[in-house]
Amino acid sequence: MRVIVVIVVIAIVLTLAGWLVFDFSGNRMSVEVQTDKIQHDTDSAIDHSKDLLRDADDAVNGEG
């Protein structure tokens, strides 16, 4: 039961992030994983993290 709850929570988080898209049309349902959006979001997060670490390093070393 706990595994099902974890899977549902992960699916909800991925849907809210826009990484998982559900399409209901007629008698069919499809689920798409937006890998291009995942790649873009993770690249942005990495770049932002690098900037934060660089700023923290400058603050600790007295540069800037």
Whose tokens are 């700023």? That residue is 55
Render pLDDT for 18-49 as a digit per residue (tens, 0 to 9).
999 999 998 999 999 999 999 999 999 999 99
Q: What is the pLDDT of residue 64?
A: 60
53 versus 63: the higher-pLDDT residue is: 53
pTM to 2 decimal places = 0.68
Q: Which two tokens stand for residue 11?
A: 């699916």
Q: Are β-strands 20-25 and 28-33 bridged in parallel, bridged antiparallel, or unpaired? A: antiparallel
Looking at per-residue confidence, does 63 or 3 come out higher? 3
Q: Does residue 63 register a pLDDT over 90?
A: no
Percent of the chain with pLDDT over 90: 91
